[in-house]
Chains A and B, each alone.
Chain A
């Protein structure tokens, strides 16, 4: 049914990715048609019927159902694809699951560069921008996770966003623009919500199946834009639009780094395709793909940098190939050939005119900068320190948005990219990743200790867990970090949806100081959230336990070899304690104890099945998602085995670290359990035993204030970055501002008041020398006044014309006679 099904089964994924895009297109077209017909309708004509069919004034539920149906199709196809991939994959077959098409090609066609043996070299190396996909185990599993979790969230949002189906929605948290004492009344926006959600899903799925940095970047930006739209969904609230701006702009800061990384890859390595980049950096040898270094022996003259254009002979420099990192100045870049007939020579002549089929060298620092650039993109997207402040503010968006984008998928894109681009990072870059992850994990966990808004606690929890993933990846635990990504998606989405259920039942109260004792009114929500809390704290046999154990094992093993990096092996343990504490605090404050606000407690009731269904589904996944046989073996996890198939070969460099970690795995398990119990016990001691009033939740100590105010990072950024930028902008803006009419900034021209001018005299010109506008206008004005002087030649008097004619003729005649003498 799909063309080429037998030879390229990966096309299933293309279909699955395009379904949400088709839904977006349909919804957008329907919306535009409706907006177009609305002013044109006349009662009784076809326009009225068409308008009614497209939803009329009431937001139609059909758009939402269409989105959910589309997502269900995508989820189904993703599971089919996953099953097929797992049953038929082996290294030889991998090529069936990838395809590339040329989009733009400059230069002669050299076909697939991987297929060429190094014989012919065209005068210009061909440059191509390609579009393609590549499915491996990581992609298949992640695709399935995104699709299934998104489906659950879509169904949940059918119930949560039900108030948007009304014709008029009253928003109590926004202020009317003109009538300050009224709240805002606006049309319901049900369809638009699902439009943005579907667009986001398309972009995320496309990011996962893309095989080159260009497509990943396009998806990167697209998910950022959808996040902006969805955070600012309640656009009448200034807090929401401020948060949306903050998220997008911080993402852009990271994307600037990403672009630097892409630029380096394009110019130095000649390709943006990830497989080709890895092959160029690490070669195709089966020994694990080590990076080879080079040391310069005879440098080139450095005269011409563009030999192709100037027609000179390309210059060559000689390099000594070495495997020792300490004496290297460059990194060896392998040619893109399929069959390597000989080993790497010890000495290389590298010309400045490089080809994709030649050896080349890359200065070491450029390699590091490329890695740091791509890492910056991931930092921005995954809200790691220092670009972390947008994530808590992003909770302004509706809770399904927080669940999908800011817990399970978009922030996971950064971690995914680090895992995907693992072979192109230098060891220094991985160390930076680990440090940033550790710092973020601790920082965010510490802030979550004292927050009272239920969504903020979960947001900081997400930030912290992402830090743990980055830490794991930086220490060589590739499978550990990505396994945690998958399990975290399940239980974090569960936690957010549970919070959404609570918020919905309490009529949009988000402060835990007004909740309490809700488990009697909302049992399903309470106990599924308990499952989520147990999973995130790493209670044995739940999905979070498998991934957390692996991360802690990796940290311990690494710490044995590099004890000088204290933070890297200490902070994950501290974070475990803190995580247990604040998660149990969240649960106990919300669901246990006596109710703190009687009104809220009276109104609360269990959410409808459309909302509790996904909760139960995600709870099941949180429990059994990472199970293997036997269950009590961390190493036996089924998901982990799937991920190990996609592990890049270079992870073998960290094999000794992982092995020594496994040696102590019982110690790790015991210690982790101890930390969890310590945190949980502390939470129970303070919040579970007796009544905690809302007043007691306020912090008064100095440390507590710092934590409460998020370590003042918002204020620091405001003073260090925002204020100077705004000041500079105002200085620049002054060059463009015009003074009000009648008051020139500098008095020039004649200061004659308007009443004293004669009737046919133009007013004296004013030149505004203070602004840029004034200078440009002055040029035009001077030309015009010059023209007015010249205009007097056209007097319209016949005798004047005749006289001028005669005089000119005589002058010419005189000139001719005089000069010809």
Chain B
């Protein structure tokens, strides 16, 4: 197996980030939007780990930072799910297009 370069992994991270933003912008289901958020956070993690691995100046910081990000992602997912629950209580749907109160 050939050694992949840093830029390839960064490219992977970027691709995952774009997929996550596309999910955020294009999904109508609120849970889908949440999945997009998770993808974005994971892309950030990929970048962190990649730089931590390929740059000898950083020893463990990247990986520990990635662990923190995972924790924060979990907490933020809990909060987001609570919001979606309240949203469903009010609107009887998880369709984000139903939130029109700020229109005009």
Contact A791 B104 (CB under 8 A): yes
Minimum distance in angstroms from B57 CB to a CB of chain A: 23
Binds A, one of B5-13, B42-50, B65-73, B95-103: B95-103
Contact A806 B104 (CB under 8 A): no
Residue interface mask A780-821, B partner, CB < 8 A = 1:
000000000001101111110011001000000000000000
Contact B103 A803 (CB under 8 A): no
Contact B99 A806 (CB under 8 A): no
Given A799-B96, A799-B97, answer yes or no on A794-B25 (Cβ-Cβ < 8 Å): no
Q: Nearest 3 CB-CB pairs, A to B?
A: A796-B103, A796-B102, A803-B25
Tell me if B86 is interfacial: C-beta within 8 Å of chain A.
no
List 7 A-B residue pairs with CB atoms under 8 Å apart, sorted by A's residue number: A794-B102, A794-B104, A797-B99, A797-B103, A798-B99, A799-B26, A806-B24
Minimum distance in angstroms from A201 CB to a CB of chain B: 69
Interface SS of A by simple majority:
helix
Other-chain residue from A791, A795, A796, A799 in contact with B25 (beta carbon distance below 8 A): A799
Contact B102 A806 (CB under 8 A): no
- Neighbouring B residues of A802 by C-beta, 8 Å: 21, 24-25, 33
A residues with CB within 8 A of B = 791-792, 794-799, 802-803, 806
Minimum distance in angstroms from A178 CB to a CB of chain B: 51
- Given contact pairs A791-B104, A798-B33, enumerate 16 new A-B contacts (beta carbons under 8 Å): A794-B102, A794-B104, A795-B103, A796-B101, A797-B100, A797-B103, A798-B99, A799-B24, A799-B27, A799-B28, A799-B96, A799-B97, A802-B25, A803-B25, A806-B21, A806-B25
Contact A798 B104 (CB under 8 A): no
Closest B residue to A809 by CB, please name it: B21
B contact residues, total (Cβ < 8 Å): 15
Within 8 A of A (CB), among B1-39: 21, 24-28, 33
Other-chain residue from A791, A792, A798, A803 in contact with B97 (beta carbon distance below 8 A): A798
Contact A794 B21 (CB under 8 A): no
- Neighbouring B residues of A791 by C-beta, 8 Å: 104
- Neighbouring A residues of B100 by C-beta, 8 Å: 796-797
Give the docked Cα–Cα distance between A799 and B30 (Å). Answer: 10
- Neighbouring A residues of B103 by C-beta, 8 Å: 794-797
- Neighbouring A residues of B28 by C-beta, 8 Å: 799
- Neighbouring B residues of A799 by C-beta, 8 Å: 24-28, 96-97
Minimum distance in angstroms from B13 CB to a CB of chain A: 15
Minimum distance in angstroms from B58 CB to a CB of chain A: 23
- Neighbouring A residues of B33 by C-beta, 8 Å: 798, 802
- Neighbouring B residues of A798 by C-beta, 8 Å: 33, 96-97, 99
Minimum distance in angstroms from B45 CB to a CB of chain A: 19
Closest B residue to A799 by CB, please name it: B25
Give the docked Cα–Cα distance between A798 and B36 (Å). Answer: 14
Closest A residue to B100 by CB, please name it: A796
Give the docked Cα–Cα distance between A791 and B104 (Å). Answer: 6
Give the docked Cα–Cα distance between A802 and B33 (Å). Answer: 10
Give the docked Cα–Cα distance between A792 and B104 (Å). Answer: 6
- Neighbouring B residues of A803 by C-beta, 8 Å: 25
Contact A796 B24 (CB under 8 A): no
Closest B residue to A810 by CB, please name it: B21
Give the docked Cα–Cα distance between A795 and B101 (Å). Answer: 9
Give the docked Cα–Cα distance between A799 and B21 (Å). Answer: 11
- Neighbouring A residues of B25 by C-beta, 8 Å: 799, 802-803, 806
Minimum distance in angstroms from A716 CB to a CB of chain B: 67
Minimum distance in angstroms from A606 CB to a CB of chain B: 87
Closest A residue to B28 by CB, please name it: A799
Give the docked Cα–Cα distance between A794 and B102 (Å). Answer: 7
Closest A residue to B97 by CB, please name it: A797
- Neighbouring A residues of B101 by C-beta, 8 Å: 796
Residue interface mask B78-104, A partner, CB < 8 A = 1:
000000000000000000110111111
Give the docked Cα–Cα distance between A797 and B27 (Å). Answer: 12
Give the docked Cα–Cα distance between A796 and B100 (Å). Answer: 5
Minimum distance in angstroms from B101 CB to a CB of chain A: 7
Contact A796 B104 (CB under 8 A): yes
Closest B residue to A788 by CB, please name it: B104
Give the docked Cα–Cα distance between A798 and B26 (Å). Answer: 10
Closest B residue to A798 by CB, please name it: B96
- Neighbouring A residues of B26 by C-beta, 8 Å: 799
Give the docked Cα–Cα distance between A791 and B102 (Å). Answer: 11
- Neighbouring B residues of A795 by C-beta, 8 Å: 103-104
Between A791, A794, A796, A798, the greatest number of chain B beta carbons within 10 A of the residue's beta carbon is seen for A798
- Neighbouring A residues of B104 by C-beta, 8 Å: 791-792, 794-796
Give the docked Cα–Cα distance between A806 and B26 (Å). Answer: 12
Give the docked Cα–Cα distance between A692 and B35 (Å). Answer: 119
Between A791, A792, A803, the greatest number of chain B beta carbons within 10 A of the residue's beta carbon is seen for A803
Minimum distance in angstroms from A791 CB to a CB of chain B: 6
Closest B residue to A794 by CB, please name it: B104
- Neighbouring A residues of B27 by C-beta, 8 Å: 799
Closest A residue to B96 by CB, please name it: A798
Give the docked Cα–Cα distance between A799 and B96 (Å). Answer: 8
Minimum distance in angstroms from A806 CB to a CB of chain B: 5
Closest A residue to B21 by CB, please name it: A806
Give the docked Cα–Cα distance between A806 and B19 (Å). Answer: 12
- Neighbouring B residues of A806 by C-beta, 8 Å: 21, 24-25
